[in-house]
Amino acid sequence: MPEITHGPADDPAGEDALEPYCTTCGIRASIFTDHGGRWLHYTGKPEDRAVHPYDPGHAPVIGWRPTPGIAVVAW
C-alpha cells in the first residue's frame, strides 16, 4: 500500500487554522509593516480588509488560537 502524506489542506486544525491574539486581553493581534513591523492589537475584519491598529494600553502578549469560523472536526 502506498504511503499517504498529509499537507496543510488535509488538516483543518493545523497551523493555517490558527490566529494570533493577545493573551492578556483576548483581542486579535497582527504584525503591521506600516507601523515598523511591530505586533499590534487591531479591530475590524481581516476578511473585509478593514483592520485598524488599536491601543488598549498595553503591548500584545502573543498566543495562538483557532480562527473563528473554521470548523474543526476531532476524531
- Radius of gyration of the chain from its Cα atoms, rounded to whole angstroms: 16
The per-residue pLDDT for 67 is: 82
Read off the pLDDT of residues 19-69 as tens digits, 9 standing for 90 and up.
Answer: 999 999 999 999 999 899 999 999 998 888 889 999 999 999 999 999 876
Judge whether 26 and 68 are in contact, CB under 8 Å: no
Domain spans, the chain = 19-66
Residue 2 has pLDDT above 60, yes or no: no
Cα 1 to Cα 64: distance, rounded to the nearest angstrom: 37
Cα 39 to Cα 44: distance, rounded to the nearest angstrom: 16
The per-residue pLDDT for 17 is: 79
Residue 71 has pLDDT above 80, yes or no: no
Judge whether 27 and 56 are in contact, CB under 8 Å: yes
Rounded to two decimals, what is the model's pTM? 0.67
Residue 1 has pLDDT above 80, yes or no: no
